[in-house]
Amino acid sequence: DTEVTQTPKHLVMGMTNKKSLKCEQHMGHRAMYWYKQKAKKPPELMFVYSYEKLSINESVPSRFSPECPNSSLLNLHLHALQPEDSALYLCASSQAAQGHYGYTFGSGTRLTVV
Amino acid sequence: QKEVEQDPGPLSVPEGAIVSLNCTYSNSAFQYFMWYRQYSRKGPELLMYTYSSGNKEDGRFTAQVDKSSKYISLFIRDSQPSDSATYLCAIVETSGSRLTFGEGTQLTVNP
């Protein structure tokens, strides 16, 4: 299995909703990541889980909170989002904790906040 | 100045053409170089990975790195309409886990 699986593929949520994005990999990768990608822009790093330690991009607002239940799963909990948070949310994993061998990306969750 | 510069295009070529995509970078600590292909509404797919200066070939794709000039390239030979996508260069520091992306170049190969 050489895939990163993300669910759901599409999500529409209101600004008062709470929802979660899920990500799963079975490649034995040691690090997992959440990225946000706006249209015609490169992915922007939000969070890194590497060896069970969380690293945060300080510019990410607290309405996004990651959770790593085990080494194969990574969730992103969403609460009180704003319309400008609408984007493609990508999960990725890497064999090496430093990402030296490249990342494997999932197909993403396309999020629309209304 | 951005850490990684990439011409966003768009780039349009006829089928069978040789495509050259390029990025420059400013940080000498960058040591690992990748090219990703991203189709519309999909996640990026790793095409090529290299960590040394020189060329690396994989089928119709050749990645080239010149560390002295801080310049990386991706060449696509015999381009096909199925190569139409956005191509992102990405670079990792020796000690870091952060992937720094270029802006991406949108490529269209016309039949």
Query: How many Å lie between the alpha carbon of A2 and the closest alpha carbon of chain B?
Result: 12
| CA–CA gap between residue B29 and residue B69 (Å, rounded) | 13
Q: What mean pLDDT do residues B2-9 have?
A: 87
Token pair, residue B104, equals 């991406």
* Tokens 């990748």, residue located: B34
Contacts of B90 in chain A (CB under 8 A): 102
Per CB-CB distance under 8 Å, the chain B contacts of A87 are none
Reported as a pLDDT band with limits 50, 70 and 90, residue A102 is confident
- Report d(CA A19, CA B3) in Å as an integer: 34
Strand order in B61-66's β-sheet?
Answer: B4-6, B19-25, B71-76, B61-66, B54-58
CA distance B47 to B30: 19
**How far B48 CA lies from chain A's nearest CA (Å)?**
9
Alpha carbon of residue B89 to chain centroid: 4
Closest residue on chain B to A6 (Cα): B43
**Which of B51, B97, B101 is best to mutate for the A interface (most A CBs within 10 A)?**
B97
Model pLDDT, residue B98 = 75
Tally of CA atoms within 13 A in the half-sphere of B104 that contains its CB? 21
- For residue A107, the chain B residues in CB contact (below 8 A) are 42-43
Q: Give the model confidence (pLDDT) of A36-79 as tens digits.
A: 999 989 999 999 998 778 888 888 999 999 999 988 999 999 99
Amino acid at A76: L
CA B37 to CA B77: how far, in whole Å?
A: 15
**B97, A55: Cβ pair inside 8 Å?**
yes
CA distance A76 to A97: 20
Q: Do the chains contact at A101 and B49, CB–CB below 8 Å?
A: yes
Burial of A33 (0-12, 13-18, 19+ CB in 10 A): buried
What single-letter amino acid sits at A99?
G
Q: Any chain B CB within 8 A of the CB of A31?
A: yes
What confidence tens digit (pLDDT) does each residue in B82-109 have?
999 999 999 987 766 678 899 999 999 9
